[in-house]
Structure formats: structure tokens, C-alpha cells
């Protein structure tokens, strides 16, 4: 099926043609006609499936060209959990609306709010924002009474990050008649509750199995000792000649430590985590995309919203604390139908974490050992040792609280009596 068949207008067809989109992806096939037909949408879709175009193209078509005029009301708002994803959506929309006249702005936390207010005063049609900053702007009087489209992208991530409060505050301020499009990569009870609150008779779109990882991703786990993970990582990058690899750590501290370690090995690497400034993160990401940096180390903050064309490898240096985050991490590769490889470096302490991940994704991840990096399988997790110790421990009642066997009754001598006897 072609994009023409989906009923898109010429300026949009021209723009996506220039971007090299030939065929709509599954989510685009389903979502575009539904949004054009004014339906609310609840879509579970992995990142990398083309979901940005799935909501942005029909919204642009419906908004048509800007009505112009300073201080006009905003017509569409797209909420994103992270600044990086917001900027990415903004850039995608700029590309899609190349042959249209639409004013679009990105409003994220950490930037001068007064400048953002001034930008809005000039007249904006589409706002892409993080929830906290958008709510702040609304509380400062930004007019959202004429919103036609309300998009909640990566709703699951947003809720995990604690943005439910902001969405609950923004939602009642929206006009009664508007379309809401909700996208989530993973489905959870929290997401279901939010959907009940914000959606009216939504069309459900499920382009992939719940919480499943994209089929084109080859997944493997290499068992290794904790102390040798950095060495194995450097070995894999070197021996397999990885040109561009995204490496995830669980914490900022281990990201920093790994960064130093890989630099010692002479690898050109960059780092993105919550303690790095926005400007630094963007610069690092650009250098990574341009190939100046070969290895990008990131914590889960970066696992969503990073869209890097043709990213072939994702390495989980440490498994994520939340199993669902595995789906988001590996979703950085194998995007838009391309092949990708997700490698996890698995130490003994992560034995149970991988089982939880396998339960969430509904498949087994093959575990292998690389020659020269054989793990010491005699190491036991501390809790396993404790568990074993407990199971060897005989129940106290068996040992100590056995009913005493009936003995011939011997009348005890009272202390008083004994004392008397002693004194005697």
C-alpha cells in the first residue's frame, strides 16, 4: 500500500518522498486513516516503528496551513517524556511540513521560560513539549482552549517518570472537542488507567505483541564475570569492528566509570546521562550520529527517544533495573525494519533479571560464553548462599521443642528446702 492510498495531501507526499519513505509502516497504515477520520487512538507501538509519522502526518494534514496571526491559540500539543525525544519529534515535523506553512515550536524544561512565552506570543500551531514545562506555561496563561490534537507519546515512559500528575492537570483544561492520540511502547496497568481518563471511544492499534522486541533484532547474552565486563566490551567492539554502538549502564556512576575505562583502551566514546547538560548531550549525540564518536554510553534516560539512523548495535553493559526498559533499550536498533543486534553482558548477579526480561518479552534470550572470557561459575550470589544456608538449617521445633518423653515422676526439691539443707 502506498502513502497516496492513505489519502495524504501532496505537500506531505512530497516531503516524505524526499525523506525516502516509500511504503507506510504497519502503524502508519492503521493510524493515518483513523486520525484523518477523527478517531481517538490508543496504540501500543515500539519506538522505531514509524509512530512519529503515524501521528504527525495526519495532524499536519488536518491543521492544513497556519491561519497566521500573532498570539493565536495553539492547535496541537504533543507531550514527550524527554527533551531528546521532543527535539526529535520537532525535527521530524519540520521535515514533514517542509512544503506547508505551519509554525511549530519545542518547549522543554531547562530552557528560559520567558523566551518560550515570547515564542508562543508570535503565534504557534504545534507545540512539542515535556509535560512539566508545558503545565508551567499553561499556568502562566498560555491559551489551550482551541487545541484540536492532544498527543501523548511514550505514555508508559511518561508515567514511569512520574508525569501522571501533570497530565491529569492539563487534560481538564483542554476543550471538550479535541482528538487524543496515545502511544505507548509497553502496556501496563498505569497506561490503561490513563487511557481511560483521556480517551473517548478510542480505536486500538497494536502493531506488535505486547512488550515484545522487534523481530529484526538478534538478541544474545554473553555470560561474563562482573570484573571483566569492560574488557569484554572493548574486545567485542575491536574484534567485530563495531563502528557505532550504543552501550547502556544501569547507573550514572557505572556510566562514568566505563567511560574512563574505554578511553584508556583508546576508544572514542561519549556519554549521556542525567548529570550532563542539555547542550552537552545534544553535542555528544550529534557527534555519535556523525560517526566522530564510535561508542555512546548512556543510562536509561537516553533509552527512549533516541532515533539514530541505522544503529546496528545496542549493548546492555548492565541489564536495566526495570525489565520493560530492556524493550526500550534494544528498540534503539532494528528500526524501521532494518536488522540490528542487541547484546547483553550478563554476570551472575543478573541471573534473575534476565529471567524477568524473558518473561516480559515472551521469549528466551540465548546465553553464550566467549572464549577467553569464561565466567567463574562457582561464584554464588549472596542471596543464593543465604538461601542455601537457610534451607540447611534444621527447624528449631524439631530440635529443641520436642515433647519431652514421659519420665517417672520425681518430686522436685524446692529451692527453699535445698537452701535449708545446705545451711544444715
Residues that bind ligand AMP (CB under 6 A): 21, 23-25, 28, 47-53, 307, 309, 335-336
Give residue 279's Cα distance to chain centre: 21
Q: How far is the CB of 48 from ligand AMP (least distance, A)?
A: 5
Pick between residue 28 and residue 299 the one whose CB is nearest to ligand AMP.
28
Q: Which three cell numbers stand for residue 121?
A: 506570543
Pick between residue 3 and residue 134 the one whose CB is nearest to ligand AMP.
3
d(CA 405, CA 62): 89
Pick between residue 30 and residue 51 the one whose CB is nearest to ligand AMP.
51
In 252-322, alpha helices (H): 252-264, 278-289
Contact 101, 173 (CB under 8 A): no
Q: How far is the CB of 216 from ligand AMP (least distance, A)?
A: 12
- Axis crossing angle, helix 351-361 with helix 323-330, rounded to the nearest 10: 70
Whole-Å CA distances, 259 to 247, 254, 317, 356, 383: 10, 8, 12, 28, 30
d(CA 279, CA 147): 31
Whole-Å CA distances, 37 to 6, 34, 62, 67: 11, 5, 10, 22
Pick between residue 99 and residue 364 the one whose CB is nearest to ligand AMP.
99
Pick between residue 154 and residue 353 the one whose CB is nearest to ligand AMP.
154
Pick between residue 250 and residue 335 the one whose CB is nearest to ligand AMP.
335
Give residue 288's Cα distance to chain centre: 19
Pick between residue 153 and residue 350 the one whose CB is nearest to ligand AMP.
153
Q: How far is the CB of 156 from ligand AMP (least distance, A)?
A: 15
Q: How far is the CB of 90 from ligand AMP (least distance, A)?
A: 13
Pick between residue 328 and residue 335 the one whose CB is nearest to ligand AMP.
335
Whole-Å CA distances, 170 to 77, 131, 174: 11, 9, 7
d(CA 214, CA 45): 10
Q: How far is the CB of 305 from ligand AMP (least distance, A)?
A: 8
Contact 47, 154 (CB under 8 A): yes
Pick between residue 50 and residue 131 the one whose CB is nearest to ligand AMP.
50
Nearest CA among 298, 254, 249, 253 for reference residue 272 = 298
Whole-Å CA distances, 200 to 18, 28, 117: 35, 21, 31
368 DSSP 8-state letter? E
Contact 372, 378 (CB under 8 A): no
Pick between residue 53 and residue 147 the one whose CB is nearest to ligand AMP.
53
Q: How far is the CB of 385 from ligand AMP (least distance, A)?
A: 45
Q: How far is the CB of 277 from ligand AMP (least distance, A)?
A: 24
Give residue 103's Cα distance to chain centre: 29
Q: How far is the CB of 42 from ligand AMP (least distance, A)?
A: 17
d(CA 13, CA 2): 10
Q: How far is the CB of 19 from ligand AMP (least distance, A)?
A: 6
Q: How far is the CB of 57 from ligand AMP (least distance, A)?
A: 9
Amino acid at each position: 500500500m502506498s502513502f497516496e492510498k492513505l489519502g495524504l495531501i501532496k505537500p506531505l507526499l512530497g516531503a516524505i518522498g524526499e525523506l525516502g519513505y516509500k511504503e507506510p509502516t504497519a502503524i502508519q497504515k492503521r493510524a493515518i486513516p483513523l486520525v484523518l477520520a477523527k478517531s481517538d487512538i490508543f496504540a501500543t507501538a515500539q519506538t522505531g516503528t514509524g509512530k512519529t509519522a503515524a501521528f504527525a502526518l495526519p495532524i499536519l494534514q488536518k491543521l492544513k496551513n497556519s491561519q497566521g496571526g500573532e498570539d493565536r491559540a495553539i492547535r496541537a500539543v504533543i507531550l514527550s517524556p524527554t527533551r531528546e525525544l521532543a527535539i526529535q519529534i520537532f525535527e521530524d515535523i519540520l521535515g514533514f511540513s517542509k512544503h506547508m506553512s505551519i509554525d511549530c515550536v519545542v518547549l522543554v524544561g531547562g530552557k528560559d521560560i520567558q523566551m518560550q512565552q515570547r515564542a508562543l506570543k508570535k503565534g504557534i500551531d504545534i507545540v512539542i513539549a515535556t509535560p512539566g514545562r508545558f503545565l508551567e506555561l499553561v499556568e502562566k496563561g498560555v491559551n489551550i482552549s482551541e487545541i484540536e490534537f492532544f498527543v501523548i507519546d511514550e505514555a508508559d515512559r511518561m508515567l514511569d517518570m512520574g508525569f501522571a500528575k501533570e497530565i491529569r492537570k492539563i487534560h481538564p483544561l483542554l476543550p471538550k472537542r479535541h482528538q487524543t492520540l496515545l502511544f505507548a511502547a509497553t502496556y501496563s496497568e498505569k497506561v490503561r488507567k490513563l487511557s481511560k481518563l483521556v480517551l473517548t471511544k478510542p480505536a486500538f492499534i497494536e502493531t506488535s505483541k505486547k512488550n515484545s522486541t522487534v523481530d529484526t533484532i538478534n538478541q544474545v547474552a554473553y555470560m561474563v564475570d562482573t570484573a571483566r565486563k569492560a574488557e569484554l566490551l572493548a574486545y567485542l567492539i575491536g574484534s567485530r569492528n563495531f563502528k557505532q554502538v550504543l552501550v547502556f549502564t544501569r547507573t550514572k556512576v557505572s556510566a562514568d566509570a566505563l567511560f574512563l575505562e574505554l578511553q584508556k583502551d583508546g576508544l572514542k566514546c561519549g556519554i549521556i546521562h542525567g548529570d550532563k547538560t542539555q547542550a552537552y548531550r545534544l553535542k555528544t549525540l550529534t557527534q555519535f550520529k556523525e560517526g566522530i564518536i564510535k561508542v555512546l554510553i548512556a543510562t536509561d534516560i537516553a533509552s527512549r527517544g533516541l532515533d539514530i539512523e541505522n544503529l546496528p548495535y545496542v549493548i546492555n553493559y548492565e541489564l536495566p533495573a526495570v525489565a520493560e526498559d530492556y524493550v526500550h533499550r534494544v528498540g534503539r536498533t532494528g528500526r524501521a525494519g532494518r536488522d540490528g543486534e542487541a547484546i547483553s553482558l550478563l554476570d551472575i548477579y543478573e541471573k534473575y533479571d534476565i529471567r524477568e526480561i524473558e518473561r516480559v518479552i515472551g521469549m528466551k534470550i540465548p546465553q553464550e560464553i566467549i572464549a577467553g572470557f569464561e565466567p567463574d561459575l562457582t561464584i554464588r550470589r549472596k542471596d543464593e548462599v543465604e538461601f542455601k544456608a537457610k534451607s540447611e538449617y534444621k527447624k528449631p521445633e524439631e530440635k529443641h521443642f520436642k515433647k519431652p518423653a514421659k519420665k517417672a515422676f520425681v518430686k522436685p526439691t524446692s529451692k527453699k528446702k535445698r537452701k535449708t539443707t545446705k545451711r544444715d
